[in-house]
Amino acid sequence: LAEAKVLSDGVTSLIRGLITRNLKDETIRTRFAKSREIAVRRYIKSHLQNPLLQPEHICRDLGISRAVLYRMFEEDGGVVKAKQALRLDWAMDQLCMSQKLPGAVGDIAKNWTFQDPAHFSRLFRDRFGLRPTDVIASGIRSPDPSEDGVSNLLISDSLNPLRSLYSKITKT
């Protein structure tokens, strides 16, 4: 019985040592940070149409600190900017699938939590170099938006002639 206790304590110490050493390993920490960032980005994508999506909700729901969240999005210009860029990307896909209907831009803006269509149009033009109405008028139809944004890349390239035309028109 005494030998079993010693053996049990030894195995426990060995496992504790392996776990502790692995947590100190830079590779393990990097993998953990990357998987946590992927989870955060997925969470944001799945809640993009929620107008109440705020950093404090993300932190609370995912159990991370505000500092960790902000560090994750430093390269994107911050959490709010990254969230806005994603919403604009999805709005681009939706605009590409839209018909020319009165109020289409306003409806799509509201769908992606932009309450003011004029503000949405300015942000959209800043991001893509085009007005939302130009995208609808182009007749370009995108495939269904993919989770990784591939359709935005395809659309972006196909809209280059429109961007060029728009920049010529606005310079005169």
Averaged confidence pLDDT in the chain: 79
Mean pLDDT of the region 86-97: 92
Lowest mean pLDDT among 59-68, 74-83, 152-161: 152-161
Q: What is the pTM of this model?
A: 0.65
- Predicted confidence at residue 170, as pLDDT, reads 45
Whether residue 141 has pLDDT greater than 90:
no
More confident residue, 2 or 121: 121
Question: Is 47 within 8 Å of 53 (Cβ atoms)?
Answer: yes
Q: Which helix (H) or strand (E) holds 120?
A: helix 117-128
- Predicted confidence at residue 91, as pLDDT, reads 94
